Amino acid sequence: MFKLPFGRQRTEPAQEDPERTHREPLIRRIVNQWWERLFAMVLGRVPLGEQAYLYSSHETTRDYVWNTLGQTLWGSLFPILTIVSTQLAGAEEAGRFNLAFTVATLLLYLGNYGVRTFQVSDLDEMDSFSAYQIQRVMTCALMLASGAAYCAFRNYDTTMALIAAGAFGYRAIDALSDVYEGRLQQMDKLYLSGISIAVRTVAPLAVFTGLLLVTKSLPTASIGLAVSELACMLAVSMPLALLETPVSRPWQALEVRELFVECFPAFAAMFLFNLIETMPKFAMEGALPYEDQVYFSAIYFPAQKALMAVGFIYKPQLLRLANIWSERDKRARFDLIVIAMLGACVVVTIGMLLFAAIVGIPLASFLYATDFEPFRTAQYLMMVAGGFAAASDFLFQILTVLREQATATRLYVAAFAFVSVASSVLVRTTGFMGAVYAYLAVMVVLFSLLAGQYVLVRLRSR
């Protein structure tokens, strides 16, 4: 049986030489210490089960700070890459990279397969960590195969194929690294996961920027992005899971099958939602110049901040909402909370509109070295669409609390059918604005479907 012995059973921290600790600067000491452990692991000088942990668990403040930093950096990577590629390679070439990275980000949901929440909540380790790794390797392989099939379907030239290969490779390694970071979170060392994400984001970004600055070649920079991500996973993400968590028992085929079955609804919902968001960009490919991909993304990225802001408000309250729903005499209060959160979506949207009106357009013009004044109306419409997207995401989470996620996923299928037709028709008849209209329309439709489903559930529960 294949065995992946990640981590150890000992939990006491290793002892350090006080004199050496005093002499060496902190950063150098940490780096040297890490490389010593890494080489000891690779060379087998000390069996994994006998190595002591260096980093403690249950560090709430560290968990919050590093996880927030890591997630913020990770969430900002795509916009920054788009800005860098636009500044250094021009809008047309940056549009190629932007589209490839958009497809790669969509495929990332296939690679992750919605397993992270399932994994970190598996406190009793009903499924072995080895099984999680095997399942993740399989989904990442499927992700890369899907990416190759997409490139063949689009009949990309060599330049676009290389850009896409780099983007797909980067996201596949991103998905694989996530299973190791999930293990750290599962073992109550979330701050180490945040550190891993931060390193995996900053280092590849620096490599991408440096290569593009020197070579002026997006294919070269894209491949460098993937290679540097692989190096970070092998040097940081994987060893942290190897060295800082308990040994995994051998995996069983039944466990891997269970992960595919149990996590499919979460994967389907997340994949469909992001496919719906991406369809207008797909409709633009071939019908409009590649540079329009950059312009669309430039007004899309700020709109997504509404979804993030609303998520920061309600996600910490999901457990509390579930407890309130479980008591029938408090369900009127549950309705008030839902209405209040929808009101918060409106407030956030208004704030984003004001930001776009005062700062957003000049800032986008500066960052992308393009006059965005002609896109002012499109930016406003996109902000409104972002508000509906945030409200839709919230309602899906509420329906999940109500155990109606299967029905909600079917509503996503209906919204996908709508946006597929609307995007194709509107882009071909009205050009760039057609993509914006299609995105706004599908978010309004999706919100209406989810809100209607919530009302039906509440009427049945009385």
CB 425 within 8 A of CB 287: no
The yes-or-no verdict on residue 74 having pLDDT over 80 is yes
Residue 94 tokens read as: 């940056």
Mean pLDDT, residues 270-274 taken together: 90
Summarised one tens digit per residue, pLDDT across range 93-123 is 999 999 999 999 999 999 999 898 788 878 7
Residue 212 tokens read as: 């593009």
Q: Grade residue 26 by pLDDT with cuts at 50, 70 and 90.
A: low
CA distances from 297 to 83, 277, 378, 391, 403 (A): 10, 11, 11, 21, 34
Residue bearing the bigger pLDDT, 89 or 25: 89
pLDDT at position 159 is 95
pLDDT at position 17 is 56
**Domains of the chain by residue range:** 1-262, 264-462
CA distances from 301 to 148, 161, 322 (A): 26, 25, 31
Q: Grade residue 8 by pLDDT with cuts at 50, 70 and 90.
A: very low
CB 278 within 8 A of CB 84: no
Residue bearing the bigger pLDDT, 149 or 19: 149
pTM for the model:
0.84
pLDDT at position 121 is 77
CB 240 within 8 A of CB 196: yes
- Listed residue (334, 328, 341, 453) closest to 394, CA to CA: 341
Mean pLDDT, residues 397-422 taken together: 87
Q: Grade residue 402 by pLDDT with cuts at 50, 70 and 90.
A: confident
CB 110 within 8 A of CB 144: no
Question: In angstroms, rounded to a whole number, what is the distance separating the alpha carbons of residues 301 and 428?
Answer: 23
Mean pLDDT, residues 233-251 taken together: 87
Question: In angstroms, rounded to a whole number, what is the distance separating the alpha carbons of residues 203 and 197?
Answer: 10
The yes-or-no verdict on residue 383 having pLDDT over 70 is yes
Q: Grade residue 2 by pLDDT with cuts at 50, 70 and 90.
A: very low
The yes-or-no verdict on residue 175 having pLDDT over 80 is yes
Question: In angstroms, rounded to a whole number, what is the distance separating the alpha carbons of residues 7 and 247?
Answer: 5
